[in-house]
Amino acid sequence: MKIWLMMAVAGLMLGTAHAQEKRNEQKGAARTATAEATLTKVASFKGNQVTGVTMSEDGRLFANFPRWREGVPFSVVEVMPDGSHKPYPNQRWNSWTGQPQPKQFTCVQSVVAHKGSLYVLDPGNPMMQGVVGNARLFEFDLATNELKNTWEFDRSVAPEKSYLNDLRVDDKHGRIYMTDSGLGAIVVLDPQTGQSRRLLENHPSTKAEGINLMFDGQEWKQNGKQPQTHSDGIALAPAADSLYYHALTGYTLYRLPTAALAGAALPAQALQDKVQSLGKTPAPDGMIFDSRGNLYMADLENRAIVYRTPQGQIKTLVQDDRIRWADTFTIGPDNLLYFTTSRINEVSGDISNMEFSIYKTPLAK
């Protein structure tokens, strides 16, 4: 009996090793380890799942909370230097009553501070049950905290099952780019005209890769199913010449020239021909560039933050048990990297006793 038991255990261990080896092959070349950075907690939210975070040029910090469940008390907050927070721009904007309103958030997924404005992306898809009204992008003037602009996206741009996830503002070309993680696409907005286009829908670069993410040796499942989340992370290169994007459930990073997105509409095949695969990375959520061209992202499965150098190397910035689904990143005027821990793989049912946090850590040297 003992011999058979030992053989069974050995077989199980061998199978696990082979499975891990296959996963490592999917992710590509092994990354280079670096000295562990220091994590400092900036703020925490008990029972409220934070996803987005952004810091303005003058150091104001904002965060958002999607309406993925009943009872979300606020959608956007400003985080004070002492870690406390208050609804932004006020309580009324954060008091959704169940139906779309012109000056109320429905389900905010992302916030981005950029040159004196705060952009708030609202996919309008509460509880992931379908878009109600229209997905919207709001722009607030940070000097006055007043609404400057609202852009709405009809069903041709943001279909019922879409989920506009993250955005980047391209001043060079006068465009705003967004990912749709619900169905897989890139949305391009001309903020001056209000016209928007839905591009690369169902293209392999915007679709999940059918992989099964692993956490602590277990496959990640939601309601018994393996989640497949499409184009999610998005980042604009420092020179604004390229847009980078990545599916959440995927190991491949893609790049597209911004000129191909901002210029005259290209035929679908011509645009697809300009998509470039940059090889394998860990499975990430959000992404951000620093001024030196390093691209930061999470290694969700390994509680780590990595960065891709301009030469294409993947290096570990920090690995820590407190990094529990590094969701979104922002770089402050203090030259520190701020990120949220949304703990998406851990959430099921009641979250009232769970803590979700914002941390900061030094950039790569």
Q: CA-to-CA distance for 250 and 232, rounded, in angstroms?
A: 10
Cβ count near 173 (within 10 Å): 17
Q: CA-to-CA distance for 142 and 134, rounded, in angstroms?
A: 25
The stretch 251-274 carries a mean pLDDT of 96
* pLDDT of 312 strictly over 70: yes
pLDDT confidence of 263, banded at 50, 70, 90? confident
Q: CA-to-CA distance for 116 and 140, rounded, in angstroms?
A: 9
* pLDDT of 320 strictly over 50: yes
For the sheet with 355-362, list strands across it: 40-46, 355-362, 336-341, 326-331
What is the H or E stretch that residue 165 is in?
Answer: strand 164-170
Whether residue 145 contacts residue 117, with contact meaning beta carbons closer than 8 Å, is answered with no
Proportion of the chain above pLDDT 70, given as a percent: 90
The stretch 29-50 carries a mean pLDDT of 79
**Lowest mean per-residue pLDDT among 135-149, 175-189, 258-272, 303-317:** 258-272
The stretch 327-338 carries a mean pLDDT of 98
Q: Can the peptide bond before residue 159 be classed as cis, meaning omega within 30 degrees of 0?
A: no
326-331 vs 336-341, strand pairing mode:
antiparallel
* pLDDT of 181 strictly over 60: yes
What's phi and psi for 14, nearest 5 deg?
-65, -40
pLDDT confidence of 264, banded at 50, 70, 90? confident
Please, what are the domains in the chain? 29-362 (2.120.10.30)
pLDDT of residue 29: 45
Whether residue 28 contacts residue 251, with contact meaning beta carbons closer than 8 Å, is answered with yes
For the sheet with 304-308, list strands across it: 287-289, 295-299, 304-308, 314-319
* pLDDT of 11 strictly over 50: no
pLDDT of residue 7: 38
* pLDDT of 32 strictly over 80: no
**Among 72, 153, 156, 139, CA closest to 106:** 72
What's phi and psi for 204, nearest 5 deg?
-55, -30
Q: What would the pLDDT profile of 70-113 be if each residue is shown by its tens digit?
A: 999 999 999 999 999 999 999 999 999 898 999 999 999 999 99
pTM: 0.92
Pick the residue with more confidence: 10 or 41? 41
First and final CA of the chain: distance in angstroms? Answer: 56
**Among 37, 48, 40, CA closest to 342:** 48
Per-residue CA distances from 246 to 98, 172, 239, 259 (Å): 32, 22, 19, 19
Per-residue CA distances from 156 to 139, 162, 193, 278, 301 (Å): 22, 10, 17, 30, 35
What's phi and psi for 314, nearest 5 deg?
-100, 120
pLDDT confidence of 6, banded at 50, 70, 90? very low
* pLDDT of 2 strictly over 50: no
